[in-house]
């Protein structure tokens, strides 16, 4: 893993691992905004469900295990993935391709828990508080999602990842799993679920994790009131192999990678081996689930030695196409320009 920050642990998956439909937990990126909590004792852990509900609840891990379980294979991507490629540069963790991974998350549906608590008609947003520790003036990582997404049958309070209890890095004993949405929505180490009348008012909802409502240029002042909270991921593909700067023999080359589209489904991936002048269809992998990435591959026979720019471009069933240039925004969120690697055929 590539260590992007030590103070609060941030680990990036090397891009070449985007060649496996399920990302092993050992290669799954880690994004922490504050100090990770000390390992939680699952027997002592309690979850409070309160706010705009008729019956506030306190649940243990064994209470969660008694609820019906559901599994969702989801591609989780940090909103800041690809920030390193933003031009002009923006501040923040300089993620390249690998703040993304796909895992099978399992646990009770959030909707089932909320149903037990009985959401009042005034309950419009659902807030999650984690057990992680914010030092000094760093604000706590608390976020909320609208009630409609909270009640979606695929939104979970996940206790398992790839068939095993969540690891400490990924939120043991329970995390929100908000499929198709930016990773920030999936709060880890949840200790409180609170139903609110309004979107949670805190740093990581505003000004954090928002996009301007209109195009902005570097240096423009953005009024937080003229922004909206990030929700679904963009359409995007990344090239897992060959890697940037690879030296290849003049023989067949398998170009491969992954493509995803948040709440939409990937329709096609196109590959260019001439820097984007001409495109051909890649083959999509057989593994397929609604919120999960599609692996793709393309067999290429370079005609002669030389330098080539390989590009990948995904399209989805909502008509979205990976753009040539990503929309610039001050935090470098949702970078999804056509992916490019330069290779040398010798
Ligand atoms: N939950 C808590 N409690 N604290 C955090 O810092 N980071 C969020 C989200 N949930 C975060 C959190 C962000 S920004 C992302 S992208 C995902 O967790 C990353 O999940 P992972 O570390 O399991 O890959």
For the segment 287-345, what is each residue's pLDDT rounded down to a tens digit?
A: 999 999 999 999 999 999 999 999 999 999 999 999 999 999 999 999 999 999 999 99
For ligand 1, atom 13, name the residue with the nearest CA.
184
What is the distance between the alpha carbons of residues 25 and 234, in angstroms, rounded to a whole number? 23
pLDDT at site 86: 94
Beta strands in 242-338 (DSSP E): 247-248, 253-260, 266-272, 280-281, 283-284, 294-300, 306-316
Per-residue pLDDT band for 275 (boundaries 50, 70, 90) equals very high
Fold classification of 2-229 is Sulfite Oxidase; Chain A, domain 2 (3.90.420)
Please report the atom of ligand 1 found closest to the CA of residue 34: 6
Output the CA–CA distances (angstroms, integers) from residue 166 to 169, 188, 193, in the order listed: 8, 10, 18
CB-based contact 314:322 (threshold 8 Å): yes
> How many angstroms separate the CA atoms of 124 and 148, rounded?
8
pTM beyond cutoff 0.95: yes
Which atom of ligand 1 sits closest to the CA of residue 171?
Answer: 23
Ligand 1: residues with CB < 6 A are 28-34, 76, 78, 130, 132, 141, 170, 183-184, 186-189
Cβ atoms within 10 A of the Cβ of 263, count?
17
Summarised one tens digit per residue, pLDDT across range 193-241 is 999 999 999 999 999 999 999 989 998 999 999 999 999 999 999 999 9
Going by DSSP bridges, is the β-strand pair 236-241/253-260 parallel, antiparallel, or unpaired? antiparallel
pLDDT tens for each residue of 145-189:
999 999 999 999 999 999 999 999 999 999 999 999 999 999 999
Separation of CA 252 and ligand 1 centre (Å) = 40
Return the CATH number of 236-345, one of 3.40.640.10, 1.10.1200.10, 2.60.40.650, 3.40.50.2000: 2.60.40.650
Burial tier of 185 (Cβ tally within 10 Å: 0-12, 13-18, 19+):
buried
Delimiting residues of CATH 3.90.420.10 domain(s) in the chain: 2-229
Question: How many angstroms separate the alpha carbon of residue 29 from the centre of ligand 1?
Answer: 10
Domain span(s) for CATH 2.60.40.650 in the chain: 236-345
Q: Which residues of 46-72 are buried (b: 16+ CB within 10 A; e: fewer)?
A: ebebebbbeeebebebeebeebebbbb
CA–centroid distance, residue 245 to ligand 1 (Å): 31
CA 170 to ligand 1: nearest atom: 23
């Amino acid at each position: 893993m590539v260590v992007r920050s030590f103070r609060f642990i941030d680990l990036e998956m090397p891009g070449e691992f985007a060649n496996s439909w399920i990302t092993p937990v050992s290669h799954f990126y880690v994004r922490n905004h504050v100090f990770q909590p000390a390992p939680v004792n699952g027997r002592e852990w309690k979850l409070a469900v309160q706010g705009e509900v008729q019956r506030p609840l306190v649940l243990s891990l064994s209470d969660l295990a008694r609820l019906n379980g559901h599994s969702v294979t989801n591609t989780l991507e940090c909103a800041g993935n690809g920030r390193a490629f933003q031009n002009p540069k923006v501040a923040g963790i300089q993620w390249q391709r690998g703040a993304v991974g796909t895992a099978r998350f399992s646990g009770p549906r959030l909707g089932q828990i909320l149903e037990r608590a009985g959401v009042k008609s005034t309950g419009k947003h659902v807030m999650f508080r984690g057990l992680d520790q914010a030092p000094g003036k760093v604000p706590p990582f608390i976020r909320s999602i609208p009630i409609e997404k909270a009640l979606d049958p695929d939104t979970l309070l996940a206790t398992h990842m790839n068939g095993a209890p969540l690891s400490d890095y990924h939120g043991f004993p329970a995390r929100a799993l908000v499929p198709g949405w930016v990773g920030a929505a999936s709060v880890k180490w949840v200790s409180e679920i609170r139903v609110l009348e309004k979107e949670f008012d805190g740093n990581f909802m505003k000004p954090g994790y928002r996009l301007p409502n209109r195009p902005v240029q570097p240096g423009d002042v953005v009024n937080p009131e003229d922004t909206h909270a990030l929700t679904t991921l963009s359409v995007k593909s990344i090239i897992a192999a060959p890697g940037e700067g690879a030296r290849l023999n003049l023989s067949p080359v398998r170009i491969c990678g992954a493509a995803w589209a948040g709440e939409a489904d990937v329709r096609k991936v196109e590959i260019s081996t001439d820097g984007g002048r001409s495109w051909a269809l890649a083959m999509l992998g057989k593994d397929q689930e609604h919120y999960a990435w599609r692996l793709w591959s393309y067999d290429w026979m370079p005609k002669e030695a030389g330098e080539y720019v390989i590009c990948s471009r995904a399209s989805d069933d909502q008509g979205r196409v990976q753009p040539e240039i990503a929309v610039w925004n001050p935090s470098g969120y949702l970078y999804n320009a056509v992916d490019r690697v330069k290779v040398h055929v010798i």
